[in-house]
Amino acid sequence: MSDHSPAPVAAFEPPYYAAVFTSMRTEGDGGYGETAERMDELVKEIPGYLGMDYARTPGGLAITVGYFRDEDAIKEWSAHAEHRAAQRRGRAEWYERYTLHIAKVERSHGFERADG
């Protein structure tokens, strides 16, 4: 995950799941950027992965929302060996604190302004 915000993910056909990860980082990079990029590559290989939104506040709060078709996709991602190793390293080095919320999305819609 880079420091720039990608375009928001389009609305999906419900139901689907959102994994909302909020975090406060420690100082320094310590390999975080490379690991985040690797996780971005790996999660795309999970059947049922739909996309991701990411934002960071000037104060350092980061919010990542991963979208998954079903709970099985989330479980597969959670159990992925490289992801598990990154989670352990995150607790040891990269995060002051974090929370993870898993939510079932029952309604979804979007808006995009047409270029004028």
Per-residue confidence (pLDDT) for residue 100, from 0 to 100:
97
Q: Which residues pair with 101 in a beta bridge?
A: 20
Per-residue confidence (pLDDT) for residue 114, from 0 to 100:
87
Q: What is the mean pLDDT of each successive set of 10 residues along the chain, which is 116 residues long? A: 53 93 93 95 97 92 97 97 97 96 94 82
Predicted TM-score of the model (pTM): 0.86
| Nearest by Cα to 52 from 10, 110, 93 | 10
Helices (H), the chain: 32-43, 71-79, 81-89
